[in-house]
A and B are shown apart, each in its own frame.
Chain A
Amino acid sequence: MSGHDDAPDGLDPLVAPDELVDGRTLDDLEAYLDRGRLPRDPAIESSAACRLALRALEQVRGLSLAVLEDEAARLPARDDRWIAGLVASIKAEVVSGRDIPLRHPDPGIRLAVTEAAVRGLLRQVGDLVDGVLVRSSGLEGDVSEPGAPIEVTLRVTTRYGLPARDVAQALRAAVASALDRHTQLTVTAVHVLVDDVWLAERRRR
């Protein structure tokens, strides 16, 4: 026990709740990743928010070293801001958000996928597009109403020199395919905002 009446075991009572992902700091989760997710922590592994954050951190990690080194060389004060913005996006994304219902013929069965799961999915498929790092994503529209028109917005960083039109086209295709496969949303538009670029002297790791 922690010895603090209000703090569950293993949680730090001095950290503000809004700094936590299901009771864990992102530093805790990074350290857990560093250990290869071993020994297995059941509290982390059974938390959807923690798993989404781990997945996002893993994806960002592979790219961020190369990007940060390039950016640091170009503009020394920038790396902290860049990574802080990305981390803030990840923390905002892993909060479950709205439930997105899925149809089932049995009225006694209710199925749903959370908005956070969908955002995590968008980050996964977006980051798989060559030269793209997803900074944030959003679903606009009433996702809890079956059939309601939904617009998706992805804010991304791309490798310098990639044609923005090609990037947007590849992202739209990837997003449409993933949402069609894993949700029953009526997606009417996928907006892609390229708000930054990185220099590509180093290969993606």
Chain B
Amino acid sequence: MTDARGRGRGRRGEFVDLARELTEALRAVEGVLDVLDARPVVAAVRAVAGAVDGRRRHGLVEVERSGRVLSVTASVATDAALPTPETLARAAEVLRDHAGQASDSADDEVVVSVTARVVEPSPGR
């Protein structure tokens, strides 16, 4: 549960818009080929099925709040032509800055976790 300002034990559904914005921001990062689902497999499949059914589409980035800590978790496929550590650093900085701006308090701490789950050649290579 959360209080009126959205603090406390965060739930995934509270950050649908932010998750979607972060997903789009991540897609624009150089070296990120795709954003993968950061959620457990079954939840991800259910969410995708829901989206296909016309229900509201969630972002692939996971956003949760616990007290003053806003946690952002993302999984990506990176381009093998660029060094993955640099790509992930760029991605994390974009997420941190974007989530920080969206946060409702300057006291909030934003913790970002980005994992490369696939490193593959970009299409056409």
Contacts and interface: CB of A to CB of B under 8 A. Distances in A.
A43 B48 contact: yes
Contacts of B112: 108-110
A111 B48 CA distance: 26
Interface stretch (A47-55, A67-75, A158-166): A47-55
Interface range for B: 35 or more
Contact of A114 (B41, B89, B117): B117
Interface range for A: 35 or more
A42 B36 contact: no
Nearest to B46: A8
Contacts of A109: 89, 92-93, 96, 111-114
Interface string B94-125: 00100000000000011111111111110000
Interface in A102-117: 102-104, 106, 108-114, 116-117
Contact of B36 (A23, A48, A103, A108): A48
A48 B117 contact: yes
B96 A113 contact: no
A32 to B, nearest CB: 15
Contacts, number: 125
A182 B85 contact: yes
A146 to B, nearest CB: 12
B34 A42 contact: no
B1 to A, nearest CB: 25
A19 to B, nearest CB: 14
Main secondary structure of the interface of A (DSSP, over half): mixed
Contact of B34 (A45, A102, A103, A182): A45
Given A117-B119, A182-B85, A111 B45 contact: no
Contacts of A22: 41
A183 interface: yes
A73 B116 CA distance: 42
| Residue among B48, B80, B116 having the largest count of chain A Cβ atoms under 10 Å | B116
A55 B125 CA distance: 13
Interface string B20-50: 0000000000000011110001101110110
Interface of A: 8-11, 22-23, 42-43, 45-48, 51-52, 55, 96, 99, 102-104, 106, 108-114, 116-118, 120-121, 124, 181-184
